[in-house]
Amino acid sequence: MSSDKALISLRDVDKFYGDYHALRDVSLDIFPGEFFSLLGPSGCGKTTLLRTIAGFEDVSSGTLSIGGQDMAGVAANRRPTNMVFQSYAIFPHLTVAENVGFGLRRSNYSRGERHARVSDALEMVGLGGYGKRAAHALSGGQRQRVALARALILKPKVLLLDEPLSALDKKLREQMQVELIRLQRQVGITFVLVTHDQEEALIMSDRIAVMFEGRIAQLEEPEALYQRPGSRQVAEFIGVMNFLGAHVISNEGNALELDVAGLGHAVIGRDQCPGGPVSGMCHVGIRPETMTLLFEDRGDGPVADGVVDEVVYYGDMTYYDIKLDGVPKPITLSMKNMIGRPVLDIGTRTKVGWDPRALVAFS
Amino acid sequence: MGEVFWVGGRVAVRHLDRDSRRGLLLVSPTAIYAILLLAVPLSAVVLFSFWTQDFLTVDRTLTLANYREAIAEPLFRVLMLRSLTISAVVTAVTVILAFPVAYYVSFHVRPDRKALWIFLITIPFWTSYLVRVFLWKVILGFNGVLNTSLQGIGLIDEPLTFILYNANAVVITLAHAFAPFAILPIFVSLEKIDRSLLEASMDLGENRVTTFLRVTLPLAMPGVVAAVLIVFIPTVGDYVTPRLVGGPDGLMIANMIQTQFLRLNNAPMGATLAIIAMALVTVVSLIFVGLNRRYLRGQKR
């Protein structure tokens, strides 16, 4: 994909609030029809970046273009973007239909057409027949749907979503995640989502930009981001990652021979060093679900020995903290709970099966 | 099951009883005070309005004669109409001038400076109202500050006379005196507006002016209506300002009520005029309360 096909294009964007450096040298391209997420902890600049795209903040330096047009000096009301606010920003003095139709006033539609489009938009978000209700009488989930309908009715090139699901309870949030994906496929509009919830970003996005301290740390598709995080920081932010000390024994051709604390000898490919080449002392990361407890001693891969240090039962899964022999800090692994599979007690000696293909090495 | 609910219901009722008893106890000093100092004199005024003055004594037979006379007498009608007009103009001027001030403080003053600004707005209250009215006399007078300054810079040849001892002077003085009362409720209602609503409006294609008209102003209406009531109600009955700066053309109904009670020794007629003024204020207030209820729709959260 070349950058001239990009719908939103940022080049070397910096943003200062007084002395505070909110965005540092951000360059990225967002392509038409993409579900793009900005993921990071609070204060990482993801919301600032979204508000910059929306036109509520100026860039201090660098350029931002949308649809090939430079957005410098273009106010929010003239940009082809619409936003779903974190607070939803539903106008409390208007009805649901008046809220949804708010942006249509400046359009050339007749009254009838406007009315039809409002009911279509409400239908689309599953609020058909709610038009006459007062906005303040809606539940959190319904307000969110109104905010979505109000933004989508204007058929923007880009829909910006600022933590739209963070105010909803878990069940409703999961339901809305699926609905948002469905909606995005249906309307074909580019979605840019800001979230601090890595799980949400993984579930919903085509691509994710992970941000720390105003900088883009990594920009990848969800699978690659999860399996090959580009740095320890990203690895720790996305899901759970165990880190073990290691040192490089040999480094020949495409293979890297390591001695990993607690696991032992391992040979990994060069693609398993996503953060750049490693040498000498290094760290090796491994995800909890890539390891298994060997209840009967019959693993065909490499095996490590350890003692169960903690057991956390989740219903579908059990998380074990295991103290590997020779490693003081326990590592976490997860096991699917199946019929006939026991949950081990704390203090039990056990064998851990692992796969060298699941390792990632960082210098 | 039913019994449990029934018992539960009874317990709840008993709790409510105890709560309401404590509530009554808490409000009773205030209630007694209010009844003694408001309801009793007010009833006396109502009673007086149905009596008549018979030269030196009060005739205590109940009659509507005063009301008939008050409505028939052109002077009373002129004064009543003038009071309502002056109050309406004062209210309009005050609220229209107060809105930009409240807007500026709410939207453009740094959050940590807002308290200071509100504090500064109350400064006129630090001196007596009477002193402030006298100061306006000094400013607006024939040889006053305004006239000498304007003559000094050559804008006018002769002193302006339409600014003192008439209705204009009353409007100017009252509008200044009531400005803080109008600024504060409007400021509070502007402060309550979620700023993301304004961004949402901009995002949906409106510019700053249309955002103001479609979002800010409707959401600030409860404050505006409160300001209208707070200014209108007391100014209708004001008598110090018209007395001091109003001249003969600026006199209002309250001055006539005072005259009836003290100079003409006709307390029943004074009481009747007071009751009529009160009834008119009540009608106007109810209209605005009704308007407010319309604007308060949907702002409970």
- Condensed to tens digits (0 to 9), the pLDDT of residues B86-97 reads 999 999 999 999
User: Of the ranges A35-49, A72-86, B234-248, B286-300, which one carries the lowest mean pLDDT score?
Assistant: B286-300
Per-residue pLDDT for B127 more than 90? no
Residue among B196, B219, B301 whose CB faces A85 most closely: B196
**Quick one: pLDDT at residue A300?**
76
Put simply, the answer to whether A92 touches B219 (Cβ < 8 Å) is yes
Test mutation, A102, A148, A152, chain B, max B CBs within 10 A: A102
pLDDT over 60 (residue B6)? no
Assigned domain for B138 exists: yes
Mean pLDDT to the nearest integer, A11-23: 93
**A122 pLDDT above the threshold of 90:** yes
The CA-atom distances, in angstroms, between B289 and each of A94, A227, B94, B225, B226 are: 20, 64, 19, 8, 9
Q: Which residues pair with A332 in a beta bridge?
A: A321
- Å from B301 to nearest chain A CA? 7
The tens digit of pLDDT for each residue in A233-271 reads 999 999 999 999 999 998 887 889 999 999 999 999 988
User: Could B204 and A134 be called an inter-chain contact, meaning their C-beta atoms sit closer than 8 Å?
Assistant: no
- Report the C-alpha dihedral over residues A270, A273, A276, A282, rounded to 10 degrees: -120
CA A221 – CA A202 distance, rounded (Å): 9
Clarify whether residues B84 and B167 are in a common domain.
yes
Give the CATH number, domain containing residue B82.
Answer: 1.10.3720.10
Mean pLDDT of chain B: 88
DSSP string, A126-141: T-TT-TTSBGGG--HH
Contacts of A83 (CB under 8 A, 6+ apart): A50, A54, A151, A159, A160, A161, A162, B199, B200, B203
Does residue B11 carry a pLDDT above 70? no
A68-85: average pLDDT: 93
For chain B, what is the domain count? 2
Cβ-defined contact of B203 to A87 (cutoff 8 Å): no
Q: Which tokens in the block code for residue B6?
A: 């029934």
Residues B145 and B218 occupy one common structural domain = yes
**Cβ B163 vs Cβ B172: under 8 Å:** yes
Residue A89 · residue B199 · CB < 8 Å: yes
Interface ipTM: 0.85
pLDDT classification of A2: cutoffs 50, 70, 90: very low
Is the domain spanning A3-233 CATH 3.30.1510.10? The answer is: no
Structure tokens at B37: 């100092």
Backbone angles phi, psi at A291, to 5 degrees: -110, 155
Nearest CA-CA distance, residue A103 and chain B, Å? 5
Residue of A183, A291, A207, A158 whose CA lies nearest to A37: A207
Handedness of CA A146, A149, A151, A154 (dihedral sign): negative
Structural contact between residues A359 and A285, judged by C-beta atoms closer than 8 angstroms: yes
Does position A1 have pLDDT exceeding 70, yes or no?
Answer: no
Do B2 and B117 sit in the same domain of this protein?
no
pLDDT, position A234: 94
For residue A54, the chain B residues in CB contact (below 8 A) are: 203
| A54–B203 CB contact, under 8 Å | yes
Instruction: Examine the domain organization and report whether B25 and B167 are in the same domain.
Output: no
Residue B186 has pLDDT above 60, yes or no: yes
Q: How many CB atoms lie within 10 A of CB A153?
A: 24
For chain B positions 197-256, those within 8 Å of chain A (CB to CB) are 197, 199-207, 214-215, 218-219
Percent of chain A with pLDDT over 70: 98
Burial class (CB in 10 A: 0-12, 13-18, 19+), B30: exposed
Task: Please give the pLDDT value at position B76.
Answer: 92
pLDDT digit string (tens) for B18-37?
A: 888 888 888 889 889 988 99
> Domain check: are B175 and B248 in the same one?
yes
Q: Is residue B116 part of a domain?
A: yes
Chain B residue closest in CA terms to A87: B196
Do residue A93 and residue B300 have CB atoms under 8 angstroms apart? no
CATH architecture of A240-362: Beta Barrel (2.40)
- Identify residue A14 by its one-letter amino acid code: D
Q: What is the pTM of this model?
A: 0.83
Is the CB of residue B192 less than 8 Å away from at least one CB of chain A? no
Flag whether pLDDT at A152 surpasses 90: yes
- Give B222→chain A minimum CA distance, Å: 11
Cα–Cα distance between A58 and A230 in angstroms, integer? 30
B295: chain A residues, CB-CB within 8 Å = 93
| B116 touching A (Cβ < 8 Å) | no
Chain B residue with CA closest to A159: the answer is B203
Q: Buried b vs exposed e over A46-63: b needs ≥16 C-beta within 10 Å?
A: bbbbbbbbbbbbebeebe
- Same domain? For B30 and B107 the reply is no
Look at residue B34 and tell me if it is in a domain: yes
Instruction: Examine residue B255 and state whether it is found in any structural domain, yes or no.
Output: yes
Q: What is the pLDDT of residue B189?
A: 95
Structure tokens of A91?
Answer: 């106008």
Range A138-153 average pLDDT: 93
Taking contacts as CB-CB distances below 8 angstroms, the residues of chain B near A135 are 298
Same-domain status, B20 and B139: no
The label of the residue with tokens 């400013």 reads B139
- Residue range B133-168, pLDDT digits in tens: 999 999 998 888 899 999 999 888 888 888 888 899
> What pLDDT was estimated at residue A361?
93
Report the percentage of chain B scoring pLDDT > 70.
92
Substitution target from B203, B209, B210, B211 for chain A, most A beta carbons within 10 A: B203
* A92–B298 CB contact, under 8 Å: yes
Residues from chain B that touch A87, judged by Cβ atoms under 8 A, are 194, 196
For residue B200, list chain A residues with Cβ-Cβ distance below 8 A.
83, 85, 89, 91, 150
Domain boundaries, chain A: 3-233, 240-362
The boundaries of the domain holding residue B242 are: 74-296
Q: How far is B218 from chain A (nearest CA, A)?
A: 7
In which residue are the tokens 């006199």 written? B251
Q: What is chain A's alpha carbon radius of gyration, rounded to the nearest angstrom?
A: 25
Q: Do A56 and B199 touch (CB under 8 A)?
A: yes
Largest CA distance in chain A: 76
Q: Give yes or no for B109 touching A (CB within 8 A).
A: no
Q: Please check whether residue B156 lies inside any domain of the structure.
A: yes
Contact B207 A75 (CB under 8 A): yes
Whether residue B222 is contained in a domain is answered as: yes
DSSP-derived secondary structure for A22-40: EEEEEEEEE-TT-EEEEE-
Considering the domain architecture, whether residues B130 and B231 belong to the same structural domain is answered as yes
Interface contact A89-B199, CB threshold 8 A: yes
Report the mean per-residue pLDDT for chain A.
91
Dihedral sign from CA coordinates of B122, B126, B131, B136: negative
Render pLDDT for A295-345 as a digit per residue (tens, 0 to 9): 765 667 889 999 999 999 999 999 999 999 989 999 999 999 888 888 889
Measured CB to CB, residues of chain A less than 8 Å from chain B are 54-56, 75-77, 81-83, 85-87, 89, 91-94, 102-103, 105-106, 134-136, 150-151, 154
- Predicted pLDDT of residue A35: 96
**pLDDT (0 to 100) of residue B295:** 67
- CA distances for A196 relative to A14, A202, A225, B43, angstroms: 21, 11, 15, 66
Residue B45 maps to a domain: no
Q: Give the number of A-B residue pairs with CB atoms closer than 8 Å.
A: 72
DSSP code for A72:
T
pLDDT digits 0-9 by tens, A28-69: 999 999 999 999 999 999 999 999 999 999 999 999 999 999
In chain B, what residues touch A148 (CB-CB under 8 Å)? none
Alpha helices in A66-110 (DSSP H): 96-100
Whether B60 is in a domain gets the answer no
Residues of A within 8 A of B225 (CB-CB) are: none
Which contacts (CB < 8 Å, 24+ apart) does range B62-71 have? B66/B268, B66/B269, B66/B271, B66/B272, B67/B272, B67/B276, B69/B269, B69/B272, B70/B269, B70/B272, B70/B273, B70/B276
